[in-house]
């Protein structure tokens, strides 16, 4: 290349670069033949090694790259012809320009080389000196390398120069040297343009104001090259005409589609050049490129896309737009064409359609409108639709259809490169596997294909410390840990093999991350980003992991996976928030994060609704996991971490994650799929899965316990602000003040202090202050104050106060049982407004008989069945239920069915509360009145009293949730109950008056029952618990697992039964004491199963003498003792539970676990074996 | 693997327990507090063998509770990668099966069972079946742990039966 052509215009030099190789290059001759002096290479390397002084840094940085480039050049040069070589050189030029520094260096080197052919000694003080000083040996080596035959003269030269240098240094003083250096550098910095030089400083090539301007013209995208060629031709054609086109150059850039640039002095020349050329949009303006943008414009470099076989691309146009394709043929890549393979989208709709389309002049396959689905080519299908003639088989197993070639179902096609999207392809695992075949054949996923899919993996996903495997190249199979990462090359410390411990550089693209099975990893990208789990399988590039959060397997590319800390908690963390954290959604709503999806939090709030929120929308709730406590259905405390179970509904079980306001409990069970295993429940509807000892000491402290108002059940009474709205709804009222005075209506809603009253007269709904309302008894027509009405009807024994109904515990001292008892009949009688009671059937009023097993739906405070019942009130055919005996499953604490036999008039009596564990118990009242299946105690009770007390009127159907369930109240009116077995059981077995066996004959068992306040200290277990005949779950359903004393038939024996008896035979077993802190087994089970005679009592323990070995005696706490059941007829037993407790009988015969006692005084008893204990020394 | 470890535990005791039976309370509480718990560091605390030192009670100002620092020796179970364990299958699904090794839950992925073993969803209960082996709920299996995830108070392991001598343990 001549200097002139090179220097004439920087743009000219560049213009061809943009041309694709092989494209037309009209000005090639001007560029001809500058060849890089390759012989210099060794020199270069020496320099790199010995490089000193100022150049050192610069060279180090670039050494590798330069070397690479040179090597590459060399290789290619060998392979390719002359023309290609020229291209190479041009490429190199480009490189030079991009890296100005390097160029400088080369130029300098070339200067130096130049001096080899000049008389160097004549230029002692020239700018070259510093270099000489610095590069002594390099120079020498260069010379030796270059011209070995001149060795002698070189040697001579070197010596002389050395002498001279030393001499100079000696003679000059330091200042002079510095000055000289400065001078020299000044000079070099202001190097002048030397037309004779082969090299021009980059700066001087920069365009200035005096240079021709650059003009940009819009053209049709894709036609840039043709436009350029046309303009070239036009310019050349007119070159020697009268008015030549004053355009110096024209070029386009691949990186800037739709633009062509002209180098010209005036825009007029440009428009002249463009005139008559198609695809040029001169009308869109000829814009001037600012001078400062000219060089950057040319620097913008389209990233070289090197297509390789197996690479994934996407198609850009046509019906396959966006479809994944694989490059299979790159032989014609130089022609801008690549062979690709993809899943075709052949329209298999009927042939007529195709004909229509053909008739319309469209191609068969260019279906406008909808895209046919992508599916593999099937000869049969296509033949069926398009006819045999349309498909031509080509051996061995290909087909030609519609001009395209199909092999193995894939379409193979040569397409232009510009129809392919090669960047940001990012094939997903899904797509790749679909490409590889349908679901069934996932097993044979071509690993290579997937590896290829990740060809684009650069170092971005790699971090020092990652374990990687080299899967291609000469280091294939090498394992190692990444030491350093640069964009293209990573250094890994090899593991194993010959080079163990060495650091090896490998291309970043030829490594993949390696994971061991069992490793705890996290997914960084993709649709499962942020999921962590443990690796269960690694297959090539695909890692299968078992998610920590949900039970699911996830597949991910290994490039998207990172090792996670083993102890990271297995949770994905998004900034502040962690899975299962409790967050505030607003001041009254909290939720627990169930999943973190990228930047979104999925939250389950206290009401059970799922929300999605961004971290900004929520605030982290103060961490209270350590302190949060809530009462469970038994009134025991539960804490975060306890495993609890629902006592109703779905019986879900889970570990407590968090507790909100001691009411809402968030639980987690990984086996639930809903909400990723998180669910919310009321504390009062939960029960521990394992009867767990109350952990907090406060609970065990009797003193503290006594202070707890309601047996600890409601440590935190719910806010009792204002009237209970739901309680008032559907109440029949009369308006006593204001314009509507005298009108009757029904309360439909309560809003603050006002109520919305639906008038009976004209079907209007008015908002009326509650102060102007009075409750109306529909039966009697009497009016009562709105709030006190219920209480009044119950006679002083109101367990319900206005607004305070919730925290009334029937067991609390508030109830005056005696008073209740006395007045109850009245309470139930006609005086009670039906509207008030009709809505809350309380079949369990009878439960009261059982000795304080009254559900107090309000004790729980939160959701109460009453709410529902009230709401449903009017519609509830309470009476019907009673009479017809609708079968209503009641939710007892959890025992199974406990039919108790042989009670009074009852046939089978489902006992309530049996095991307190939460089973279903048929409603004993279903048959109540009918008396067929009479729940003995209750049934008889009702049977007796129904006529007298309940009558048949509506009130009867209206047991109140408030008043009804007080034991005293119920108890009182049953003195006449002939054999009320329920009067006897001691509900809590505690040393209360109850523990004493109460003969059923007690004249007023009710009174007796009502006297104590059994609830206190016992958490108010109500075995008869909440069951409502209508199936509404009640918070109290749980009842106490421990206390089932009311059920004569079951494990009703209190744990401390033994304290009441002497001289019986006992067996040692696990502790039966509920909520005990004692170990489960006495002496760790050493004595379990052994039979002892119970000799004496020592405090709460018994001295027991072994039956088998009378010399052995042990002191055993009562809770480990269980009664020795009768084994055969004729044994003398004592009844330890039930109403006949304390009686001594003799067994007669046994049937199905029930023992018939020998008749005594005209009385025959059948008792379950459980409530019998053999007497030791008869 | 089981280890004997000397551990310590701090107990806060309510003043109402200060009395003759104080030590009993402490012992009981210690048993209750630690037995059956799991710490990521030590593993599952299976049983307290010995209480080395019940500690001196120090009254916590303000609450009146006493703080005892008990030192005790306990049998702990800590799973390790590579360990071979016996367990009982508790749950079988198409992804694999879960087995309990004492308190430790181990998941054996379907990728980590022998290739000839297939999930049979139609069987009742669902099982993994090969010619001579069947793994279903309550089957006893021998597994090798290939990974353990240790959290602050929980552990989880992944096991394999894709090796010799692993898999179903026959009773006979």
DSSP string, A583-641: EEEETTEEEEEEEEETTEEEEEETTS-EEEE-GGG-EEPP--TTT-EEE-TTS-EEETT
Residues 6+ apart with CB under 8 A from A57: none
Residue A968: the pLDDT is: 36
Residue A61: the pLDDT is: 44
State the residue range of the domain holding B69.
2-77
CB contact under 8 A, B107 and A546: yes
Q: Closest chain B residue to A544 measured between Cα atoms?
A: B111
Instruction: Measure the CA–CA gap between A992 and A536, rounded to whole angstroms.
Output: 60
A1176 token code pair: 């030791």
A321 token code pair: 């737009």
Residue A1087: the pLDDT is: 77
Give B95's contacts in chain A (Cβ within 8 Å).
546, 551-553
Instruction: Measure the CA–CA gap between A38 and A58, rounded to whole angstroms.
Output: 21
Residue B71: the pLDDT is: 93
Q: Does residue A702 lie within any of the structural domains?
A: no
Are residues A1034 and A1133 located together in one domain of the fold?
yes
Are residues B16 and B63 located together in one domain of the fold?
yes
Are residues B69 and B129 located together in one domain of the fold?
no
A1101-1106/A1113-1117 β-pairing = antiparallel
State the residue range of the domain holding A268.
209-299
Are residues A334 and A269 located together in one domain of the fold?
no
Instruction: Measure the CA–CA gap between A882 and A754, rounded to whole angstroms.
Output: 35
Share of chain A above pLDDT 90, in %: 0
Cα A493 versus chain centre, distance: 36
Overall domain count for chain B: 2
Are residues B127 and B100 located together in one domain of the fold?
yes
Q: pLDDT tens, A131-143? A: 444 445 555 555 5
Give B104's contacts in chain A (Cβ within 8 Å).
none
Q: Tell me which of A630 and A96 has the higher pLDDT.
A: A630
Among A404, A431, A458, residue at a domain's last position: A431
Are residues B162 and B94 located together in one domain of the fold?
yes
Q: Indicate the residue of B95, B151, B158 with minimum beta-carbon distance to A570.
A: B151
**Does the pLDDT at position A816 exceed 50?**
no
Q: How large is the greatest C-alpha to C-alpha distance in chain B, in angstroms?
A: 69
Q: Does residue A1074 lie within any of the structural domains?
A: yes
CATH number of the domain that B136 lies in? 2.40.50.140
Give B17's contacts in chain A (Cβ within 8 Å).
697, 701
Share of chain B above pLDDT 90, in %: 32
Share of chain A above pLDDT 70, in %: 52
Residue A898: the pLDDT is: 37
Cα A1083 versus chain centre, distance: 47
Residue A1091: the pLDDT is: 82
Confidence band for B84, pLDDT divided at 50, 70 and 90 = very high
Q: Does residue A500 lie within any of the structural domains?
A: no
Q: Please give the average per-residue pLDDT across B101-125, as a whole number.
A: 89
Instruction: Measure the CA–CA gap between A69 and A74, rounded to whole angstroms.
Output: 9
Instruction: Measure the CA–CA gap between A122 and A160, rounded to whole angstroms.
Output: 13
CATH number of the domain that B32 lies in? 3.30.1490.120
Residues A477-514 as b or e (16 or more Cβ within 10 Å = b): ebbbbbeebeeeebbbbbbeeeeeeeeeebebbbbbbb
DSSP-derived 3-state class of residue A874: coil
Q: Does residue A798 lie within any of the structural domains?
A: no
Are residues A1042 and A902 located together in one domain of the fold?
yes
Residues A648-680 as b or e (16 or more Cβ within 10 Å = b): beeebbbbbbbbbebbbbbbbbbebeebbbbbb
Q: Please give the average per-residue pLDDT across A813-835, as a whole number.
A: 36
Q: pLDDT tens, A398-432? A: 888 888 888 888 888 888 887 888 777 777 777 77
For A867-907, list the strands marked E by DSSP.
889-891, 898-901
Cα A110 versus chain centre, distance: 64
Confidence band for A184, pLDDT divided at 50, 70 and 90 = confident
**A713 within 8 A of A755, measured Cβ to Cβ:** no
Kindly list the distances between the CA atom of residue B158 and the CA atoms of A240, A545, A651, B85, B155, in Å, as whole numbers in the listed order: 84, 11, 29, 11, 10
Are residues B73 and B93 located together in one domain of the fold?
no
Instruction: Measure the CA–CA gap between A139 and A165, rounded to whole angstroms.
Output: 15
Among A190, A217, A242, residue at a domain's last position: A190
pTM for this one? 0.38
Q: Please give the average per-residue pLDDT across A222-249, as a whole number.
A: 88
Query: A interface toward B at CB cutoff 8 Å?
Result: 516-520, 534-537, 544, 546, 548, 551-553, 566-567, 569-570, 641, 671, 693, 695, 697-698, 700-704, 1077-1079
Residues 6+ apart with CB under 8 A from A183: none
Q: Does residue A118 lie within any of the structural domains?
A: yes
Instruction: Measure the CA–CA gap between A1103 and A1093, rounded to whole angstroms.
Output: 9
Are residues B90 and B55 located together in one domain of the fold?
no
Give B107's contacts in chain A (Cβ within 8 Å).
534, 546
Q: Does residue A951 lie within any of the structural domains?
A: yes
Are residues A56 and A87 located together in one domain of the fold?
yes
**Does the pLDDT at position A851 exceed 80?**
no
- A/B interface, count of CB pairs below 8 Å: 85
Are residues B114 and B57 located together in one domain of the fold?
no
Are residues A916 and A1037 located together in one domain of the fold?
yes
Are residues A182 and A248 located together in one domain of the fold?
no
Q: pLDDT tens, A101-141? A: 444 554 555 454 555 565 555 545 544 444 444 445 555 55
Among B19, B51, B77, residue at a domain's last position: B77
Residue B43 host element (H or E): strand B43-53
Q: pLDDT tens, A765-811? A: 888 888 888 888 877 778 888 764 333 333 333 333 333 333 333 34
Show which of residues 55-94 on chain B sit within 8 Å of chain A, judged by CB atoms.
Answer: 65, 81, 91, 93
- Which spans in B5-138 are helix H? 22-34
For A832-951, list the strands marked E by DSSP.
889-891, 898-901, 908-911, 920-922
Are residues B93 and B158 located together in one domain of the fold?
yes
Instruction: Measure the CA–CA gap between A812 and A709, rounded to whole angstroms.
Output: 8
Closest CA to B168 of B90, B88, B63, B77: B88
Confidence band for A629, pLDDT divided at 50, 70 and 90 = confident
Are residues A283 and A406 located together in one domain of the fold?
no
Residue B159: the pLDDT is: 92
Q: pLDDT tens, A972-1007? A: 333 333 333 343 333 333 333 333 343 333 333 333
A90-99, A1096-1105, B153-162, range with greatest mean pLDDT: B153-162
Q: Indicate the residue of A551, A641, A704 with minimum beta-carbon distance to B95.
A: A551
Confidence band for B47, pLDDT divided at 50, 70 and 90 = very high
Instruction: Measure the CA–CA gap between A1073 and A994, rounded to whole angstroms.
Output: 17
Q: Does residue A61 lie within any of the structural domains?
A: yes
Q: Tell me which of A754 and A350 has the higher pLDDT.
A: A754
Give A544's contacts in chain B (Cβ within 8 Å).
109, 111
Closest CA to A256 of A301, A206, A315: A301
Give A517's contacts in chain B (Cβ within 8 Å).
112, 146-147, 158, 160
Are residues A357 and A322 located together in one domain of the fold?
yes
Residue A582: the pLDDT is: 82
Instruction: Measure the CA–CA gap between A625 and B34, rounded to whole angstroms.
Output: 19
Are residues A40 and A10 located together in one domain of the fold?
yes
CB contact under 8 A, A569 and B151: yes
**Does the pLDDT at position A887 exceed 50?**
no
Peptide bond into A186 cis (omega under 30): no
Are residues A874 and A1002 located together in one domain of the fold?
yes
B153 token code pair: 């108070």
Q: Indicate the residue of A537, A671, A700 with minimum beta-carbon distance to B109.
A: A537
Q: Please give the average per-residue pLDDT across B144-167, as a whole number.
A: 86
Instruction: Measure the CA–CA gap between A1143 and A610, rounded to whole angstroms.
Output: 59
Pick the range with the lowest mean pLDDT from A87-96, A217-226, A588-597, A799-808.
A799-808
Peptide bond into A396 cis (omega under 30): yes
Are residues A97 and A118 located together in one domain of the fold?
yes
Among B77, B97, B118, residue at a domain's last position: B77
Cα A1155 versus chain centre, distance: 58
Are residues A218 and A101 located together in one domain of the fold?
no
DSSP-derived 3-state class of residue A391: strand
Residue A471: the pLDDT is: 80
DSSP-derived 3-state class of residue A1079: coil
CB contact under 8 A, A520 and B149: yes
Q: Indicate the residue of A519, A546, A700 with minimum beta-carbon distance to B109.
A: A546
CB contact under 8 A, B109 and A551: no
Q: Does residue A532 lie within any of the structural domains?
A: no
**Does the pLDDT at position A571 exceed 70?**
no
Mean pLDDT of chain A: 64
Among A159, A190, A221, residue at a domain's last position: A190
**A983 within 8 A of A998, measured Cβ to Cβ:** yes
Closest CA to A1173 of A1088, A1087, A1083, A1092: A1092
Instruction: Measure the CA–CA gap between A264 and A282, rounded to whole angstroms.
Output: 15
Q: How far is B41 from chain A (nearest CA, A)?
A: 10
Q: pLDDT tens, A1008-1060? A: 333 333 333 333 333 343 333 333 333 333 333 333 333 333 445 677 777 77
Q: Indicate the residue of A536, A702, A704 with minimum beta-carbon distance to B158.
A: A536
Overall domain count for chain A: 4
Interior CA angle at B110 toward A643 and B41, to 5°?
45
């Amino acid at each position: 290349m001549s200097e002139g052509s090179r220097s004439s215009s920087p743009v000219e030099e560049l213009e061809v670069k943009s041309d694709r190789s092989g494209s037309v290059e009209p000005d090639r001759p001007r560029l001809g033949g500058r060849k890089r002096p390759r012989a210099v290479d060794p020199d270069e390397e020496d320099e790199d090694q010995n490089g000193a002084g100022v150049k050192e840094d610069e060279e180090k940085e670039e050494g590798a790259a330069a070397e690479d480039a040179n090597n590459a050049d060399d290789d290619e040069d060998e392979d390719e012809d002359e023309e290609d070589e020229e291209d190479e050189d041009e490429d190199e030029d480009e490189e030079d320009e991009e890296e100005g520094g390097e160029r400088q260096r080369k130029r300098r080197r070339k200067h130096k080389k130049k001096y080899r052919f000049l008389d160097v000694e004549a230029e002692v003080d020239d700018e070259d000196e510093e270099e000489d000083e610095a590069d002594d040996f390099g120079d020498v080596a260069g010379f030796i390398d270059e011209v070995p035959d001149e060795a002698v003269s070189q040697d001579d030269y070197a010596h002389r120069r050395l002498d001279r240098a030393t001499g100079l240094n000696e003679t000059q003083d330091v200042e002079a040297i510095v000055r000289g250096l400065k001078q020299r550098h000044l000079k070099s910095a202001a190097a002048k343009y030397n037309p004779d030089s082969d090299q021009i400083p980059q700066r001087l090539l920069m365009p200035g104001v005096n240079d021709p301007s650059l003009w940009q013209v819009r053209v049709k995208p894709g036609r840039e090259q043709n436009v350029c060629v046309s303009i070239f031709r036009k310019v050349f054609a007119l070159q020697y005409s009268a008015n030549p086109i004053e355009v110096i150059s024209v070029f386009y850039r691949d990186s800037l589609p739709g633009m062509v640039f002209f180098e010209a002095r005036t825009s007029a020349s440009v428009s002249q050049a463009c005139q008559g050329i198609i695809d040029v949009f001169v009308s869109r303006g000829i814009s001037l490129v600012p001078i400062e943008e000219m060089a950057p414009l040319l620097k913008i470099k389209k990233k070289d896309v090197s297509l390789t076989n197996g690479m994934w691309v996407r198609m850009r146009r046509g019906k396959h737009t966006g479809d994944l394709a694989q490059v299979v043929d790159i032989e014609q890549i130089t022609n801008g064409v690549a062979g690709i393979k993809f899943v075709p989208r052949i329209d298999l709709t009927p042939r007529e359609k195709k004909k229509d389309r053909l008739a319309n002049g469209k191609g068969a396959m260019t279906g406008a409108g909808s895209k046919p689905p992508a599916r593999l080519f099937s000869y049969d299908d296509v033949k069926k639709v398009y006819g045999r003639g349309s498909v031509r088989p080509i051996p061995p197993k290909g087909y030609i259809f519609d001009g395209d070639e199909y092999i193995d179902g894939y379409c193979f096609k040569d397409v232009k490169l510009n129809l392919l999207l090669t960047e940001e392809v990012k094939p997903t695992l899904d797509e790749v596997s679909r490409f590889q075949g349908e679901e069934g054949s996932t097993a044979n996923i071509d690993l290579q294909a997937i590896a290829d899919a990740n060809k684009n993996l650069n170092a971005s996903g790699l971090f020092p410390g990652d374990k990687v495997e080299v899967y291609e190249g000469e280091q294939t199979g090498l394992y190692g840990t990444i030491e350093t990462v640069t964009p293209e090359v990573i250094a890994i410390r090899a593991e194993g093999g010959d080079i163990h411990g060495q650091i090896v550089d490998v291309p970043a693209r030829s490594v993949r991350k390696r994971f061991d099975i069992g490793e705890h990893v996290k997914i960084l990208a993709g649709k499962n980003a942020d999921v962590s789990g443990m690796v269960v399988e690694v297959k090539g590039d695909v890692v299968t992991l078992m998610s920590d959060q949900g039970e699911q397997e996830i597949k991910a590319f290994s490039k998207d996976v990172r090792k996670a800390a083993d102890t990271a908690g297995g949770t994905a963390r998004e900034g502040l928030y962690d899975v299962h954290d409790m967050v505030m959604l607003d001041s009254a709503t909290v939720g627990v994060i169930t999943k973190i999806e990228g930047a979104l939090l999925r939250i389950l709030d206290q009401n059970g609704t799922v929300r999605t929120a961004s971290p900004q929308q929520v605030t982290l709730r103060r961490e209270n996991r350590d302190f949060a406590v809530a009462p469970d259905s038994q009134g025991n405390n539960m804490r975060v971490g306890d495993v609890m179970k629902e006592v109703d509904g779905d019986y879900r079980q889970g570990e407590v994650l968090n507790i909100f306001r001691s009411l809402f409990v968030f639980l987690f069970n990984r086996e639930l799929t809903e909400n990723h295993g998180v669910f919310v429940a009321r504390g009062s509807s939960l029960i521990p899965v394992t009867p767990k000892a109350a952990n907090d000491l406060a609970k065990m402290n009797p003193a503290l316990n006594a202070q707890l108002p309601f047996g600890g059940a409601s440590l935190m009474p719910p806010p009792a602000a204002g009237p209970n709205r739901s309680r008032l709804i559907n109440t029949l009222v009369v308006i006593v003040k204001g314009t509507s005075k005298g009108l009757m209506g029904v309360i439909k809603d309560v809003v603050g202090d006002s109520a919305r009253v639906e008038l009976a007269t004209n079907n209007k709904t008015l908002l009326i202050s509650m102060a102007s309302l009075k409750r109306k008894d529909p039966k009697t027509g009497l009016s009562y104050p709105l709030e006190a009405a219920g209480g009044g009807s119950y006679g002083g024994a109101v367990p319900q106060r206005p607004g305070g109904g919730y925290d009334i515990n029937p067991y609390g001292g508030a109830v005056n049982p005696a008073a209740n008892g006395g007045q109850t009949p009245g309470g139930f009688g006609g005086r009670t407004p039906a509207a008030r009671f009709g809505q809350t059937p309380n079949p369990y009023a009878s439960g009261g008989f059982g000795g304080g097993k009254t559900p107090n739906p309000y004790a729980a405070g939160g959701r109460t069945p009453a709410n529902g019942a009230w709401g449903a009130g009017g519609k509830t055919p309470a009476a019907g239920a009673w009479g017809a005996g609708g079968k209503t499953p009641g939710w007892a604490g959890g025992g199974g069915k406990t039919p108790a036999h042989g009670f009074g008039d009852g046939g089978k009596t489902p006992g309530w509360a049996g095991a307190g564990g939460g089973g279903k118990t048929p409603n004993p009242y279903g048959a109540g009145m009918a008396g067929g299946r009479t729940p003995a105690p209750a049934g008889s009770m009702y049977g007796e009293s129904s006529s007298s007390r309940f009558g048949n009127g509506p009130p009867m159907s209206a047991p109140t949730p408030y008043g009804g369930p007080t034991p005293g109240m119920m108890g009182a009116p049953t003195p006449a109950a002939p054999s009320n077995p329920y009067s006897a059981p001691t509900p809590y077995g505690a040393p209360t008056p109850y523990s004493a066996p109460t003969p059923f004959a007690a004249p007023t068992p009710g009174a007796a029952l009502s006297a104590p306040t059994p609830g206190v200290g016992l958490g108010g277990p109500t075995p008869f618990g909440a069951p409502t005949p209508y199936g509404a779950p009640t918070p109290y359903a749980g009842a106490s697992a421990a206390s089932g004393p009311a059920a004569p038939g079951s494990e009703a024996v209190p744990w401390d039964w033994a304290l009441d008896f002497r001289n019986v035979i006992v067996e040692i077993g696990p502790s039966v004491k509920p909520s005990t802190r004692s170990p489960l087994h006495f002496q760790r089970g050493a004595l379990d199963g052994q039979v002892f005679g119970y000799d004496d009592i020592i405090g709460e323990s018994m001295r027991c003498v072994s039956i088998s070995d009378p010399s052995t005696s042990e002191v055993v706490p009562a809770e480990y003792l269980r009664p020795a059941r009768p084994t055969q007829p004729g044994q003398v037993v004592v009844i330890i539970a039930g109403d006949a407790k304390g009686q001594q009988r003799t067994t007669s015969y046994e049937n199905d676990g029930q023992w018939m006692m020998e008749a005594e005084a005209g009385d025959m008893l059948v008792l379950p074996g459980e409530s019998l204990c053999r007497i030791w020394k008869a | 693997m089981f280890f004997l470890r000397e551990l310590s535990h701090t107990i806060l005791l309510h003043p109402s327990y200060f009395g003759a039976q104080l030590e009993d309370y402490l012992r009981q509480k210690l048993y209750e507090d630690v037995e059956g718990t799991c710490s990521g560091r030590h593993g599952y605390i299976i049983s307290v063998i010995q209480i080395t030192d019940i500690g001196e009670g120090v009254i916590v100002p303000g609450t009146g509770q006493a703080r005892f620092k008990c030192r005790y020796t306990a049998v702990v179970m800590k799973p390790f990668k590579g360990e071979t364990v016996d367990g009982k299958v508790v749950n079988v699904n198409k992804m694999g099966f879960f087995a309990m090794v004492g308190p430790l839950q181990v998941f054996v992925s379907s990728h980590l069972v022998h290739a000839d073993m297939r999930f049979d969803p139609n069987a009742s209960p669902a099982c993994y079946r090969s010619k001579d082996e069947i793994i279903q709920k309550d089957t006893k299996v021998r597994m090798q742990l290939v990974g353990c995830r240790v959290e602050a108070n929980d552990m989880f392991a992944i096991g394999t039966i894709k090796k010799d001598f692993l898999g179903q343990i026959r009773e006979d």
